[in-house]
């Protein structure tokens, strides 16, 4: 089959012919229809320090996908060929304390598809049945391909009560702008999104941000005054990984404000802890998606009219993948969807 492979320890990806994956008794075989490019794939493409330490070569990459089940292992009863599915890319151990308690997103023995095991940028991918999510009928295929990063947005945004609350989102990357859409859908009042890239801020507005802030030209204290928020934002969603953005967030929350932190800082970051203490702020780290409460929420929100499709800026056939990666590198793209049909 055709697949996008990190063939050797060097920048780039190669479209190659590789053997079809074999299925075990607990697995399903999925014929891939659409995939989407994630920041993680860019790290692997660029072959940065993290990728060099993490990715064995050769490796079929990619983890954001939708496809159709074409075969099932002999132990599999709950799935059958013909079903339209995406996959939870975190394969967990199933035996540790957290897994046994149903907190599978907290498994300390997680392996990632397209990172530690063969991925989805391919004609076929194999997953354990415990990692398969069936889509509701009528879901748009390109949107279905985004359930992994959409899940990061949903998992983060739904940490705290949003109804009537004022939300600050730092970072208008794909996850930040999808989170803006979720916050509006869930009934937030103000959804303020910051970035320093005007095209990304424009996208945030399309997806539901009520006010965007280019932090190169405006500061959050002025925006708060303009909006009449005398006490600060109630909820902060950190989705940039930027220390400056995180510090600005902490300085603009109300007393008792709550932060969910998804963005991954590239190095240690200092903050003013006295703000956290005197203002009694809550800061919670967020990883991946809850299996499968986040997936359930995603499916029902899409079913009830949430539209995240504007986040897709590029749609390409898989053999034009280079164009998609180039657009990501140039910073013009938000989500790039590759068609494998
Ligand atoms: P992205 O890099 O596309 O988006 C980050 C955005 O932050 C960019 O648009 C950038 O311009 C903006 N930004 C940079 N400095 C800023 C500043 N000072 N103020 C405001 N905005 C600023 O990333 P993404 O794919 O949307 O992912 C968001 C973050 O979440 C990334 O840090 C990513 O590594 C992380 N992530 C975490 C998990 C997890 O499980 N915790 C999963 C996926 C992604
Ligand atoms: Zn586990």
217 is catalytic: no
Kindly name the residue from 43, 54, 275, 282 that is annotated as catalytic: 43
Long-range contacts, 330-337 (Cβ 8 Å, 24+): 331/197, 332/199, 333/37, 334/173, 334/174, 334/177, 334/200, 334/203, 335/36, 335/37, 335/146, 335/149, 335/174, 335/311, 336/36, 336/37, 336/312, 337/34, 337/35, 337/36, 337/142, 337/145, 337/146, 337/312
Residue 296 has what pLDDT?
Answer: 98
Q: Report how far ligand 2's centroid is from the alpha carbon of 27 (Å).
A: 18
Instruction: State the Cα–Cα distance between residues 339 and 323, nearest whole angstrom.
Output: 13
Q: Is the CB of 301 under 6 A from ligand 1?
A: no
Pick from 39, 46, 287 the residue to mutate for probing ligand 1's pocket: most ligand atoms within 8 Å of its CB.
39
Q: Which atom of ligand 1 is nearest to the CA of 39?
A: 25
Kindly name the residue from 40, 170, 194, 210 that is annotated as catalytic: 40
Q: Report how far ligand 1's centroid is from the alpha carbon of 113 (Å).
A: 21
CATH number of the domain located at residue range(s) 156-285 in this protein: 3.40.50.720
Domain 2-146+308-339 = CATH 3.90.180.10: yes
54 is catalytic: no
ipTM tops the 0.90 cut: yes
Secondary element (H or E) of residue 208:
none
Residue 275 has what pLDDT?
Answer: 98
Listed in order, the ranges of the chain carrying CATH 3.40.50.720 are 156-285
Listed in order, the ranges of the chain carrying CATH 3.90.180.10 are 2-146+308-339
Residue 206 has what pLDDT?
Answer: 98
- In our burial notation (b when 16+ CB lie closer than 10 A, e otherwise), range 112-148 reads bbbbebbbbbbbbbbbbbbbbbebeeebbebbbbbbb
Q: Tens-of-pLDDT digits for all 341 residues of the chain?
A: 999 999 999 999 999 999 999 999 999 999 999 999 999 999 999 999 999 999 999 999 999 999 999 999 999 999 999 999 999 999 999 999 999 999 999 999 999 999 999 999 999 999 999 999 999 999 999 999 999 999 999 999 999 999 999 999 999 999 999 999 999 999 999 999 999 999 999 999 999 999 999 999 999 999 999 999 999 999 999 999 999 999 999 999 999 999 999 999 988 999 999 999 999 999 999 999 999 999 999 999 999 999 999 999 999 999 999 999 999 999 889 999 999 99
Torsions phi, psi for 29 (to 5 deg): -105, 125
Gyration radius of the chain's alpha carbons: 20
Centre a 10 Å sphere on the Cβ of residue 300 and count the other Cβ atoms it contains: 11
Q: Is the CB of 245 under 6 A from ligand 1?
A: yes
Torsions phi, psi for 141 (to 5 deg): -60, -40
Q: Is the CB of 152 under 6 A from ligand 1?
A: yes
Q: Which atom of ligand 1 is nearest to the CA of 176?
A: 26
Instruction: State the Cα–Cα distance between residues 139 and 109, nearest whole angstrom.
Output: 32
Residue 332 has what pLDDT?
Answer: 83
Closest residue to atom 15 of ligand 1, CA basis: 242
Distances (CA, A) of 236 to 105, 262, 276, 282: 22, 11, 13, 10
Q: Which atom of ligand 1 is nearest to the CA of 261?
A: 41
Query: What's this model's pTM, rounded to 2 decimal places?
Result: 0.97
């Amino acid at each position: 089959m055709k697949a996008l492979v990190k063939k050797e320890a060097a920048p780039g990806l190669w479209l190659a012919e590789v053997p079809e994956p074999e299925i075990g008794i607990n697995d399903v075989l999925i014929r891939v229809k659409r995939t989407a490019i994630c920041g993680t794939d860019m790290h692997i493409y660029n072959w940065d320090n993290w990728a060099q330490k993490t990715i064995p070569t050769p490796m079929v990459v990619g983890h954001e996908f939708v496809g159709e089940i074409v075969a099932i292992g002999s132990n599999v009863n709950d799935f059958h060929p013909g079903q339209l599915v995406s996959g939870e890319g975190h394969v967990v151990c199933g035996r540790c304390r957290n897994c046994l308690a149903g907190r599978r997103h907290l498994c300390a023995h997680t392996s990632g598809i397209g990172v530690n095991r063969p991925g989805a940028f391919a004609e076929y991918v194999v997953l354990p049945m415990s990692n398969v999510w069936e889509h509701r009928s009528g879901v748009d295929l390109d949107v279905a391909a985004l359930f992994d990063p959409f899940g990061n947005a949903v998992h983060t945004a739904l940490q705290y009560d949003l109804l009537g609350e004022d939300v600050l989102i730092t970072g208008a990357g794909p996850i930040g702008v999808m989170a803006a859409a979720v916050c509006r859908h869930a009934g937030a009042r103000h959804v303020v999104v910051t970035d320093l890239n005007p095209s990304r801020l424009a996208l945030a507005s399309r997806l539901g941000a009520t006010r965007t802030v280019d932090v190169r030209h405006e500061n959050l204290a002025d925006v708060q005054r303009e909006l009449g928020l005398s006490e600060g934002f109630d909820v902060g969603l950190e989705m940039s990984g930027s220390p400056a953005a995180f510090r600005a967030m902490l300085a603009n929350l109300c007393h008792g404000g709550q932060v969910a932190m998804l963005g991954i800082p590239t190095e240690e970051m200092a903050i003013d802890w006295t703000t956290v203490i005197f203002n009694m702020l809550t800061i919670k780290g967020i990883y991946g998606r809850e299996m499968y409460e986040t997936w359930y929420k995603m499916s029902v929100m899409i079913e009830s009219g949430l539209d995240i499709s504007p986040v897709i800026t590029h749609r390409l056939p898989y053999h034009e993948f280079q164009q998609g990666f180039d657009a990501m590198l140039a910073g013009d793209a938000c989500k790039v969807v590759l068609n494998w049909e």
